[in-house]
Amino acid sequence: SQWTASEPYFTPGHFRSTLRKVKSRSWKKQRHFRLLEDGMTIWYKSRWAGKGHSTFSVTEVEAVREGHQSEVLLSIAEEFPADLCFTLVFHGRQGNLDLVADSPEEAQAWIQGVRKLIHKVQTMDEKEWVWDWFQKADKNKDGKMNFKEVRKLLKMMNVDMNEDHALHLFTMADKSESGSLEIEQFVHFYKILTQRDEVWKVFQDYSGDGEKLMLEELENFLMMGQQEGERSAQLAQELIDSYEPSESAQEQGAMSLDGFQKYLCSQEGSIFKPEQRDLHQDMSQPLSHYFISSSHNTYLLEDQLRGQSSLEAYIQALKRGCRCVEVDCWDGSDGEPIVYHGHTLTSKILFKDVISTVKEYAFKASDFPVILSLENHCGVEQQTIMAEHLSQILGDMLLTTVLDGQVPQQLPSPQELKGKILLKAKKIGGLEDCIDETLTDEVSDEEEANGDAESPSAEDPPKSKSKLSKELSDLVLYCKSVHFHGFEQARLHGKCYEMSSFSESKAKRLAKEAGTDFVQYNTRQLSRIYPSGLRTDSSNYNPQDMWNVGCQIVALNFQTAGLEMDLSDGLFRQNGGCGYVLKPDFMRDGNTQFSPEKPEERPDYKPLRLSIQVISGQQLPKVNQKEGSIVDPLVRVEIYGVPQDQAKEETSHINNNGFNPVWNETLNFILHTPELTLVRFVVEDYDKASRNDFIGQFTLPFTCIQAGYRHIHLLSKDGTPIPPSSIFVNISISELT
């Protein structure tokens, strides 16, 4: 077949080709691929699979990488040239799809074609969504939909309405009385279907004539309903300019119901304060004054015993804004250090490949410094090779000298370290010492974890004393690993560049027994927390307990979705997603008396009341893909913060309605330390016989919440958006008198 990379080739329903799917050097199999009629679904199967096939939607694809851009394709580079190879990278934690085409033209047709589709998905407006649904449901492709097809479509969209009501809406839209809807009539049908009574009611409350909001009425809504304060006047005009679709309304300086709903569903109408999403915090304070997004055993994609070690895991963590990654190094058999979870069956990768990957991806999501946490099990010779790789591969990116030639009294700031990679490891002597050329030091690795008897894992196996290579030691500047000898010792003798690691249980114990001491310690020195060695399934601990005492490097298994990663994603969603979040001021003062156990003893203690009216839900995804199954949704609000603030409240469940459930229930909370609070909204499918199924969630810091009528745009279990699913709430925040 003649391949051209021109546009018509990648046409839905016609575009098909045979590609090799590659999983390893030995696993390379041919698969038939097709772009289905909906122009969004890619279908593939093996020629022997009978009816069995796989599909995925373009909405699941994050990017297309060209050439040998994955470990798997690099491993077969000699067999297949780069211009035949490409990789589909999926959102969230789904594995890549590595593919090889028969010709460069065919590869280009796929690369350009899928990229265009991804762009289309990202820029689709509501009208195109509707058009998309229409094409999916119009089974016989006559450009019309009869009532039976419409019923089927409603089921696909998670709408369960009684036959009579559906028929009533259908008849209203069927202006030509032909018994079927053409696309324009279907758009009208969809509009009636998605009309939001609860939004209309709010609109009515502020509109004089019930038809539109005049400028001062909109201003009044922003002032009273949205608590926008001073900026309401200016904002009112901006919103009309941005969201009002009707030109005549715009000319009158007014907003119609359409424009009003559009604003409420936009980013500006979302629960997250837009100005807090961007980089806005002071980045010139010492590193110890920030929470830092951190990953544990970054090289693992799965569990801790048999899982695959992978460069892809570093790419995923760094792309999510992670700023502290872990590298477990062991002597390789051919003189090249390797990375894997020692004494286990996890697969091995080369240290130098890890460093090359870090170099390429370190600063894609954020300019602020990356800390390489080195877990060093190598002998002196391979340590020296590690030092060479670090210097040669990273070049200027690697920080190799103190900033102004001075021994620091406090750590440098993220701002001063922009674009730099720092090494955290053991060091011979201190920054003060002029190190003697011949010195090697007796050091046992992960010494800081000794005295923690809970963990039989490879995090701290019993080791003989190992020697340190001077070359590697010299690369350690501001993150020297030391054993923790208590807060008193640190107060008297600790240096700002010395840092210790604590297992989750030790950190939790210290937080409970000596909270204030821990908070003070963390104003000046960094501390790293890691999961218990018993978590061989890569499960996570709750990071909030550690943030409550100001621990900066709270390392989590990024590969494991769930509550703990939702909290981490929630905290680091602010400040441009740069991986650094400034701690509250009472956690940055060296003489602070703050204790998470006794928040009311803080001098500027001001508890707040948070009241959340959960109004309605919109187009929640189906949990169970079985024909005819519709969800019974409920909303739970969970508060994470100091122990007194931890709380959960939920609404009742609504039977059989994932499309537009209405709750109108109010949940109330009291927050003693709002500055440390995270709020998690979870939507679940109620099941009286077994555990509820997860539908979606969104987590954010309390300090980033906008009061008023807001939409919460839900995320999947993996933390990726699932438009157009949302919940509509009204939030009020007041001081507790």
- The hierarchical CATH code for the domain 16-123 is 2.30.29.30
Enter the DSSP assignment of 703: G
Q: Which residues contact 409 (CB under 8 A, 6 or more apart)?
A: 496
Residue 102 has pLDDT above 90, yes or no: yes
Interatomic CA distance for residues 560 and 541, integer angstroms:
11
Does 297 belong to an annotated binding site?
A: yes
Interatomic CA distance for residues 700 and 276, integer angstroms:
11
Q: Which residues contact 31 (CB under 8 A, 6 or more apart)?
A: 18, 19, 20, 21, 44, 45, 46
- Name the residue type at position 66: E
Does 686 belong to an annotated binding site?
A: yes
Q: What is residue 347's predicted lDDT score, i.e. its pLDDT?
A: 85
Q: What is residue 628's predicted lDDT score, i.e. its pLDDT?
A: 62
Residue 723: strand, helix, or coil: strand
Interatomic CA distance for residues 311 and 301, integer angstroms:
9
- Which tokens go with 115? 């990229």
Does 328 belong to an annotated binding site?
A: yes
Q: What is residue 623's predicted lDDT score, i.e. its pLDDT?
A: 83
Q: Is there a catalytic annotation at residue 341?
A: yes
- The hierarchical CATH code for the domain 216-269 is 1.10.238.10
Interatomic CA distance for residues 320 and 364, integer angstroms:
9
User: For 388-429, what is each residue's pLDDT tens digit?
Assistant: 999 999 999 999 999 988 889 999 999 999 999 999 999 999
**Residue spans per domain, the chain:** 16-123, 126-194, 216-269, 287-432+467-587, 599-735
Q: What is residue 585's predicted lDDT score, i.e. its pLDDT?
A: 96
In the chain, % of residues over pLDDT 70:
92
Does 375 belong to an annotated binding site?
A: yes
CB atoms within 10 A of CB 79: 11
Residue 524: strand, helix, or coil: helix
Interatomic CA distance for residues 405 and 389, integer angstroms:
25
Residue 531: strand, helix, or coil: coil
Does 630 belong to an annotated binding site?
A: yes
Q: What is residue 1's predicted lDDT score, i.e. its pLDDT?
A: 38
pLDDT band of residue 52 (cuts 50, 70, 90) is confident
| Angle subtended at Cα 666 by Cα 663 and Cα 672, rounded to the nearest 5 degrees | 145
Compute the average pLDDT of residues 297-325. 91
Catalytic-role residue among 296, 377, 672, 711: 296
Q: Which residues contact 25 (CB under 8 A, 6 or more apart)?
A: 75, 76
Does 238 belong to an annotated binding site?
A: no
- Which tokens go with 216? 């001062």
Interatomic CA distance for residues 720 and 439, integer angstroms:
51
Q: Is there a catalytic annotation at residue 53?
A: no
- Transcribe 404-473 into DSSP letters: TSSPPSSPPPTTTTTT-EEEEE--SS-SSS---TT---EE-TTGGGTT-TT--STTS-----EE--HHHH
How many Å from the N-terminal Cα to the C-terminal Cα in the chain? 77
Does 326 belong to an annotated binding site?
A: yes
Q: What is the dihedral of CA 27, 28, 30, 32, to 10 degrees?
A: 80
User: Locate tokens 């990229």: which residue?
Assistant: 115
Catalytic-role residue among 68, 341, 653, 672: 341
Task: Please determine whether the domains at 126-194 and 216-269 fall in the same fold group of CATH.
Answer: yes
Query: What is the overall mean pLDDT for the chain?
Result: 90
User: For 560-600, what is each residue's pLDDT tens digit?
Assistant: 999 999 999 999 999 999 999 999 999 999 999 999 999 99
Task: Tell which residue, 89, 92, 97, 99, has the closest CA to residue 62.
Answer: 89
Phi, psi of 414 (to 5 degrees): -55, -35
CATH topology of domain 287-432+467-587: TIM Barrel (3.20.20)
Q: What is residue 448's predicted lDDT score, i.e. its pLDDT?
A: 41
Q: Is the peptide bond before 724 cis (omega within 30 degrees of 0)?
A: yes
Q: What is residue 160's predicted lDDT score, i.e. its pLDDT?
A: 66
Interatomic CA distance for residues 159 and 167, integer angstroms:
14
- Transcribe 90-109 into DSSP letters: ESTTPPPEEEE-SSHHHHHH
Interatomic CA distance for residues 495 and 45, integer angstroms:
60
CB atoms within 10 A of CB 48: 8
- Choose the weakest-confidence range: 126-135, 165-174, 202-211, 272-281: 126-135
Residue 324 has pLDDT above 60, yes or no: yes
Q: What is residue 165's predicted lDDT score, i.e. its pLDDT?
A: 80
Phi, psi of 115 (to 5 degrees): -60, -40
Does 685 belong to an annotated binding site?
A: yes
Does 656 belong to an annotated binding site?
A: yes
CATH topology of domain 599-735: Immunoglobulin-like (2.60.40)
Interatomic CA distance for residues 573 and 430, integer angstroms:
36
- Which tokens go with 348? 């091995």
User: For 427-469, what is each residue's pLDDT tens digit?
Assistant: 999 988 733 333 444 443 443 443 343 443 444 443 444 589 9
- Choose the weakest-confidence range: 157-161, 211-215, 229-233, 237-241: 157-161
Top pLDDT among 223 and 407 is at 223
Give the C-alpha distances (Å, rounded to integers) separating 13 from 18, 49, 57: 15, 21, 14
- Residue pair 565/307 in contact (Cβ under 8 Å)? The answer is no
- Choose the weakest-confidence range: 3-7, 28-32, 357-361, 724-728: 3-7
CATH topology of domain 126-194: Recoverin; domain 1 (1.10.238)
Does 513 belong to an annotated binding site?
A: no
Q: Which residues contact 236 (CB under 8 A, 6 or more apart)?
A: 215, 218, 219, 222
Compute the average pLDDT of residues 351-368. 97
Does 1 belong to an annotated binding site?
A: no
Q: What is residue 500's predicted lDDT score, i.e. its pLDDT?
A: 98
